[in-house]
Every structure is written in structure tokens, then in C-alpha cells.
Amino acid sequence: MSKSIKCLLFAKLKEIFDNNSEITITLPIDKCTTLNLLNEIKSLYPKSIYIINISLVAINCEYIEKDKDVIINENDEVAIIPPVSGG
């Protein structure tokens, strides 16, 4: 069995995905974790590797620690947020 995970995209990452603000990634139920999700995105979309590696991840509006593997539950909102600059 598998689970579809909706990921919200921002800034440069959004540009890489043709200005789409979200993508859906399917993972096996037993592999629904943040690290598996990020690795799957990088595998499917090699142009995203650098940006994913420097991005923050939030689940349900709460940032998770870098390189911490967190279980993604049903209906969780996952956001991948690259660094942004402004002036």
C-alpha cells in the first residue's frame, strides 16, 4: 500500500516545478517519513537536489530539525521552504 503526500513549494523551489505551488509524491506506507519524501523528490526531479538540500521542512506549520526523520501522517501538510532573500 502507498500514501500520496501533498507538498507545498515556495520561492526557487516553486520555480523549478514550473511555478506549481504544490506537488504530490507517493510513498509506500512504511516509508512515509520526511527524509524518504525528500529523497524521492530529489530522485524524481534532479534539478531540485541543491535547493532541497538547503531548504527547511515544516509539517503542519511547525519546522522540523534538519536531517531529522519525522513520520508523515494522513492529512499532514508538508511544506518545503528554501532560503529567501530580500531587501
Using 50, 70 and 90 to split pLDDT, how confident is the model at 86? low
User: What is the reported pLDDT for 74?
Assistant: 84
Instruction: Please indicate, yes or no, if residue 38 is contained in any of the structural domains.
Output: yes
Closest of 34, 26, 41 to residue 69, by C-alpha: 34
Instruction: Please indicate, yes or no, if residue 86 is contained in any of the structural domains.
Output: no
Domain that holds residue 63: 2-81
CB 80 within 8 A of CB 10: yes
Give the range among 4-8, 45-49, 73-77 with minimum mean pLDDT.
Answer: 73-77
Instruction: Please indicate, yes or no, if residue 87 is contained in any of the structural domains.
Output: no
Closest of 12, 10, 55 to residue 34, by C-alpha: 55
Instruction: Please indicate, yes or no, if residue 8 is contained in any of the structural domains.
Output: yes
- Burial class (CB within 10 angstroms; exposed 0-12, middle 13-18, buried 19+) of 57: buried
What CATH number corresponds to the domain at position 72? 3.10.20.30
Q: How many domains does the chain have?
A: 1
